[in-house]
Amino acid sequence: MNKAKQIREFKQANPSVSPKGIAEACNATVTYVYQVLHKLKPKKVKAVKPVVAPPTAGQELLRKEIQRLNHGMDTWERTNAIQERKIDSLTEQLREARLHHNGLEYVISYLESRLGITEKPNGASV
């Protein structure tokens, strides 16, 4: 068993004994006993406040640029949504026009057949 362990165990068994008494019992110097006992004490931990440094000019410039780009992205997203609604509306109008056109073609074809009008290969009607 080493001296430090012997001193710690002796102090634990005899808490009221002075460092001089421990030194005599363990055959060590009083200075060494003080060193060993000092290491047994719990260390106080200082609370360190975080230091918040002011932003640098580069960081401030970067922050402003990010805000500008975010605003630009919002603008593009709103524009995109408007354009998509316009496209959907025009697609619906086109679909309705095709249905109307097909309906008219059907009516014209029906009337031509009832009236006996036929189209010749050169495009002339009789």
Q: What is the pLDDT along the chain (126 residues), one digit of tens a residue?
A: 688 888 888 888 888 888 889 888 888 889 999 998 888 888 888 888 888 888 899 999 999 999 999 999 999 999 999 999 999 998 888 888 777 777 777 777 778 777 777 666 555 554
Short-list 42, 49, 43, 2, CA closest to 26: 2
